[in-house]
Structure 1
Amino acid sequence: MEIILLLLFYILPLTYILYNLFNFINQRRNRHCYILNYQCFKPSDNQMLTTKFSGDIVMRNKNIGLEEFKFLLKAIVSSGIGEQTYGPNMVFHGRENCPTSDDIISEMDVMFDDIIHKLLTRSNVSPSEIDVLVVNVSMLAAVPSLTARIINRYKMREDIKVYNLTGMGCSASLISINIIETIFKSEKDKLALMVTSESLTPNWYSGNDRSMILANCLFRLGGCAVLLTNKSSLKQKAMLKLKSLVRVHHGGRDESYGCCLQKEDDNGRIGFYLGRNLPKAATKAFIENLKRIIPNILPIRELLRFSIASFAWKWIYGYGSRKRGLGFRPIVNLKTGVNHFCLHTGGKAVIDGIGKSLNLNEYDLEPARMTLHRFGNTSASSLWYVLSYMEAKKRLRKSDKVFMIGFGAGFKCNSCLWEVMRDLKDDDRSNVWNESIDMYPPRSVENPFMEMYGWLNEEDEVTFDRMKVRV
């Protein structure tokens, strides 16, 4: 009788508690999101958009005149983009005004075949082992979908979970990471493949609207494939571990929604519109995103310091002091919880603006500036080129924290924090920076467009026909 009572009142409840505790710990272990490997795309050298060839492309556009060319000159010179960036094949064949369906699909196929094959080979992973596939290419909705093309090309399993994202803009890769993270929280021991890129071929603008032709100057060819897992057995092989991810969407605000979108100009030509209020919309989304993620990534001591400093500032100057011109409020020091900053390479002004807002120095901004100069704005994949630069420079050490910030149409601002799981010293030839990393940062990143075409700013009386002859 005593044994039965002991069993009922002590042993069984203790066993039940230990069983649930074990399940809880085991579940928590498998909810982590690790990056095992990633591979950025490096097109062939014959796809480089040199200064002269970029000028030739502009000359082929019969819809622009001298004033539009001057505007493009000023935009390119101040963009921070060099002349080693890459463009789609159709511009080299003179088909930017009428790309074929083969041009559109082959651009994606060449990229996917390169980065996915290299990634899986480096990681020693078979395509049949992939449990989740997420592809984001904002401005292309193919039928069958791009995910279907990848599944068919690599003969992946029939039960693979598939997500094909379009229209998500330059911040789409972090949205894809968020989808994978959510799946990992409910299913254990999974492998996920995330592919991020942008389709330039069908979205080349051939009109003369300045707010739409600017996109031709900024966006360049690029892409990246990332292999992720939540298998605790692969933790020792992981490169990065996701610590926090926050998404902010201001699509409910008309001024934010309309600042960055695909539309037709007055003549019916489709292009990508960049509005004047884009910086204002980006700033609002950026501030809202920081408010949400800062408590997750900074140590308590910095949060207390900032709170006390803010309270003292308000107590001394009052809540209306900013309107009276009494200075700015105290600034939170992100470097107390972050070692490296992966910034979206939307343009020189974007990088400068984020750097000023976060009080970053040139060392912090160097990876984003050099990525913009070398590869241009590769849309959602740009963050991974920045990360690859840090790896090539051997900056990433075990336990370092990497902060990623991305902006996208909608308007969206997404950010996340990664923890480096081991010293990253990529010495093989798979890193897109390895062949040129010793040349960066260069002494000067000025765009050679000014040297070749700068005379236009001085000869206002020149006609566009004469300009073509001189060039």
Structure 2
Amino acid sequence: MDVVNFQYRVFKKSGLGEEASYLPPSINPGLCGNSPQTGLNDAAAEAKLVLFGAFEGLLAKTGLAPADIDILVTTCSIYCPTPSLASMLINHFKIPPGIQSYSLNGMGCANGVVAINLIRDLLQAHPNSNAVFLTTEVTTPAFYRGKDKSRLVTNVLFRMGASAMLFSNKRRWAGRAKYRLLHCIRTHTGARDTAYRCIAYGPDDEGHNGVSLGVNVVDEASHALTNAMTRVAPHILSWGQILAYLLNTGHKQLAKLAGLPRPPTFKPAFGQGVQHFLLHAGGAKVLEGLGASLQLAPHHLEPSRAVLHDYGNVSSSSTWYALGWIESVRGVARGDKVLQVGVGSGVKCGVNVWKAERSVHDLHAAWEHCLTPERRAALAARRAA
């Protein structure tokens, strides 16, 4: 009973909606009762359900055929089958043998952002190519059956989901492209033992596998985020904010030399130079921390909060779900900048800066429910709060 009460308390503070988010039949209590099934066949069934659906949706929206895909990249942290997830897609959709495929595993929630670095490099090396990126976290093998509270949290937060994106350097896509990648930053603080160990998948004392979240997760994530944002800041901050930062740094050094109290550290307001933010929806406290670190207004956090409320922590897909919400509910104007931030095990942090090539107001199936009168009223109330 203590285990149930603990998970209920975590859930009430998680930011997840009580009638939203999804679990596969194998571990959904409403379908499997007290007998969750976490075998390889169950994991494969979940992977096929979400990945095939996401890929089919992308092909339908773009008008592409499987044979038009030149590069395929998949990411999933816990579930790492042989043959790979990329091979699973190639077999199901009968993609021709010229395809270049990569399956990335064990890289956590950040990889929906961090992997853009790989896709960018692949497209630079292969002109006139289409690259498809699929993200998911198969929740079935990550389900934890034990009593360790550090591992039970993920049972409450993580939910099933997937996203599929097309990237291209073909000229014929120039007129239809939504965004252009301006900057791509990634950091890895795994040389620090505390960072390396703060998120890990493995057995507890009784042999039950689960994802363990250390008490220092937020501190280590903040450290990695600070490192990444320091590198990307000169590209997106105004000259006024850059000057204020330099002056603040100089004042702190002078105060140190003079033995005087050091002035507060200058915190730039990233919302002044960026219109939209895609933040990893790991949990309510994680979002609050990210918002405070970046000096963001409530409306900047609204897309990620909507993802967390309606779909839960969908791991590497969360920032792409947030982009789908923005395009479906709010819209993006030509020239707008979009900042995408992902933090995950390792600890890794990725920051991508995108620029809208055209105005975008594209309804995504995942957010169709947002267009009901009741939902519109709720969104308006949330903005007014």
TM-score, scaled to structure 1:
0.76
Tell me, yes or no, if the aligned pair for 1:370 and 1:441 is still in contact at 8 Å.
no
1:340 is aligned to 276
TM-superposed deviation, 1:310: 3.3
Report the Cα distance in structure 1 between the residues aligned to 2:179 and 2:338, rounded to whole angstroms.
9
- Is 1:208 aligned to 2:147, yes or no? yes
2:370 is aligned to 436
Q: Secondary structure at the match of 2:278?
A: strand
TM-superposed deviation, 1:426: 1.6
2:24 is aligned to 88
Q: Secondary structure at the match of 2:167?
A: strand
2:40 is aligned to 101
TM-score, scaled to structure 2:
0.92
2:108 is aligned to 169
1:77 is aligned to 12
From 267, 271, 276, give the equivalent of 2:210: 271
Report the Cα distance in structure 2 between the residues aligned to 1:76 and 1:443, rounded to whole angstroms.
23
Report the Cα distance in structure 2 between the residues aligned to 1:297 and 1:71, rounded to whole angstroms.
42
Question: Partner letter of residue 366 of structure 1?
Answer: E
- Is 1:192 aligned to 2:131, yes or no? yes
- Distance change (3 Å), C-alpha of 1:145 and 1:96: farther
| 1:410-451: CA deviation from partner (whole Å, max 9, x where unpaired) | 111111101111111124xx431122345143858xxxxxxx
Structure 2 unpaired stretches of 5+: none
Question: Partner letter of residue 359 of structure 2?
Answer: D
Q: Secondary structure at the match of 1:148?
A: helix
Report the Cα distance in structure 2 between the residues aligned to 1:143 and 1:313, rounded to whole angstroms.
54
| 1:296-346: CA deviation from partner (whole Å, max 9, x where unpaired) | 23344432332234324544x446989x5x552122232332111111001
Report the Cα distance in structure 1 between the residues aligned to 2:177 and 2:82, rounded to whole angstroms.
35
Tell me, yes or no, if the aligned pair for 2:269 and 2:296 is still in contact at 8 Å.
no
2:337 is aligned to 401
- Distance change (3 Å), C-alpha of 1:232 and 1:374: same
Report the Cα distance in structure 2 between the residues aligned to 1:300 and 1:155, rounded to whole angstroms.
51
| 1:25-50: CA deviation from partner (whole Å, max 9, x where unpaired) | xxxxxxxxxxxxxxxxxxxxxxxxxx
- Is 1:254 aligned to 2:193, yes or no? yes
- Distance change (3 Å), C-alpha of 1:437 and 1:285: farther
| 1:47-85: CA deviation from partner (whole Å, max 9, x where unpaired) | xxxxxxxxxxxxxxxxxx33x333222211111111211
Q: Secondary structure at the match of 1:82?
A: coil
Structure 1 unpaired stretches of 5+: 1-64, 445-471
Number of residue pairs matched?
375
Equivalent positions of 1:41-56 (< 5 A) are none
- Distance change (3 Å), C-alpha of 1:268 and 1:368: same
Equivalent positions of 1:290-329 (< 5 A) are 290-312=229-251, 314-315=253-254, 317-318=255-256, 324=261, 328-329=264-265
- Distance change (3 Å), C-alpha of 1:232 and 1:79: same
Question: Partner letter of residue 293 of structure 2?
Answer: S
Question: Partner letter of residue 441 of structure 1?
Answer: L
Q: Secondary structure at the match of 2:75?
A: strand
Q: Secondary structure at the match of 2:101?
A: strand
2:316 is aligned to 380
Report the Cα distance in structure 1 between the residues aligned to 2:314 and 2:259, rounded to whole angstroms.
41
- Distance change (3 Å), C-alpha of 1:442 and 1:400: closer
